[in-house]
């Protein structure tokens, strides 16, 4: 081979290797520094920047005056968000796009409340203790609040309001896919166990006008629920019971808050109340068999850090059902990241 050609080939190969190495290093750096971006999003949601921006592009100075912020700091934060497709930057001003509009409080599918929830100090501080969680297997919140996350919110009213609003916003993004995937009209009565303020159950009753519902949650939670037609409200403890006797039981993002033993206790309490052949419907993410990008893996870490719970695979749900008096019958996918894991009382 011509020495010049060989030298050029070696140089070209060396260049490609260096480019590949640089690309790999940058990919890791983007992951390592990834928390910078969401933290900016949390604060912008807290400040209400999207609400201060209307249909006309605004300068950072105008927005800063509206939300009582430093103009230069806000400009730099919005510039980063705009570089990731959240807001648009036009001639130094900022305008809404599809993503940033969803941060507005008045957006029909607003996620502002949920973004604020994720950025709450109790969650943010918990991730600073991640190494401790990995070493001990104990959730970080237990260090910040010995009674756990739910006790924490009972003692912190303002953060509890943000939490409730965030969970409502998150639930509303999942409700229509659940209603679209499952027909609830065959059930005479359905209990929403750990149903919070009843957003899911009220939507189910609206879609199934002949069905009655029982909302079951802690007394201090359900006492804040507005009455509704065909809705009964029952306060209690799903670890101790008694739970209502119904044709079906739905639990949306409840079981993943708890470890396997705690989850088994909850399901066994349901089984004590449930008639034979009653349906159990668990709405959660189901982890795929193969390791691919999936929202459930993110939630799994959140549960590990905050509650000590976990997301589960189909096999893990099946085993949990079997030890609790239920048989897994099918997994119904929805248009979102959640599935409906269906079981029957045996």
Sheet holding 279-284, edge to edge: 231-235, 212-217, 189-193, 248-252, 279-284, 339-345, 326-333
Q: Where do the structural domains in the chain lie, given as residue ranges?
A: 36-110, 172-345
Query: What pLDDT is attached to residue 3?
Result: 61
Query: What pLDDT is attached to residue 267?
Result: 98
Q: What percent of the chain has pLDDT over 90?
A: 73
Asked whether residue 2 carries a pLDDT value surpassing 80, the answer given is no
Instruction: Tell me which H or E stretch contains 334.
Output: none
User: Which residues lie closer than 8 Å to 150 by C-beta, 6 or more apart?
Assistant: none
Asked whether residue 215 carries a pLDDT value surpassing 90, the answer given is yes
Token pair 């549960």: residue:
303
Active-site position among 96, 199, 220, 256: 256
**In this structure, which topology does domain 36-110 adopt according to CATH?**
Arc Repressor Mutant, subunit A (1.10.10)
Which pTM value belongs to this model? 0.85
Query: What pLDDT is attached to residue 13?
Result: 66
Residue 318 to residues 116, 155, 313, Cα–Cα distance (Å): 34, 36, 9
SS3 16: helix
Q: Does domain 172-345 have CATH number 3.30.390.30?
A: no
Please write the tens of the pLDDT for every residue from 259-277: 999 999 999 999 999 999 9
220 catalytically annotated: no
283 vs 22, more confident: 283
Please write the tens of the pLDDT for every residue from 303-342: 999 999 999 999 999 999 999 999 999 999 999 899 999 9
* Average pLDDT along the chain: 92
d(Cα 262, Cα 193) in Å, to the nearest integer?
A: 15
Q: What do you get for the CA distance between the two ends of the chain, in Å?
A: 76
């Amino acid at each position: 081979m011509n020495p010049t050609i060989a030298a050029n080939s070696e140089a070209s190969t060396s260049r490609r290797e260096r480019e590949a190495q640089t690309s790999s290093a940058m990919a890791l750096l983007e992951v390592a520094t990834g928390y910078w971006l969401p933290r900016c999003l949390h604060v912008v949601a807290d400040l209400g920047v999207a609400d201060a921006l209307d249909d006309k592009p605004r300068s950072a100075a105008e927005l800063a005056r509206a939300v009582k912020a430093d103009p230069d700091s806000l400009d730099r934060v919005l510039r980063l968000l705009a570089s990731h497709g959240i807001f648009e930057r036009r001639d130094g001003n900022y305008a809404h796009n599809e993503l940033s509009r969803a941060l507005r409080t008045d957006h029909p599918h607003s996620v502002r409340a949920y973004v604020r929830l994720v950025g709450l100090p109790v969650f943010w501080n918990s991730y600073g203790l991640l190494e401790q969680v990995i070493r001990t297997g104990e959730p970080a919140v237990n260090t910040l609040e010995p009674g756990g996350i739910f006790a924490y919110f009972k003692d912190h009213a303002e953060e509890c309001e943000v939490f409730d609003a965030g969970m409502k916003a998150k639930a509303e993004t999942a409700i229509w896919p659940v209603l679209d995937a499952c027909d609830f009209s065959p059930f005479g009565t359905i209990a929403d166990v750990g149903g919070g303020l009843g957003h899911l159950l009220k939507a189910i009753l609206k879609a199934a006008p002949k069905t009655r519902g029982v909302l079951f949650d802690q007394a201090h939670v359900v006492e804040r629920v507005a009455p509704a037609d065909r809705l009964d409200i029952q306060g209690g403890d799903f670890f101790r019971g008694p739970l209502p006797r119904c044709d079906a039981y739905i639990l949306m993002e409840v079981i993943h808050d708890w470890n396997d033993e705690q989850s088994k206790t909850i399901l066994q309490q349901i089984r004590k109340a449930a008639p034979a052949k009653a349906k159990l419907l668990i709405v959660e993410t189901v982890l795929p068999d193969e390791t691919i990008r999936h929202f459930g893996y993110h939630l799994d870490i959140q549960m590990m850090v905050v509650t000590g719970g976990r997301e589960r695979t189909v096999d893990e749900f099946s085993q949990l059902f079997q030890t609790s008096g239920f048989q897994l019958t099918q997994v119904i996918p929805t248009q979102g990241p959640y599935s409906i894991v269906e079981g029957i009382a045996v």
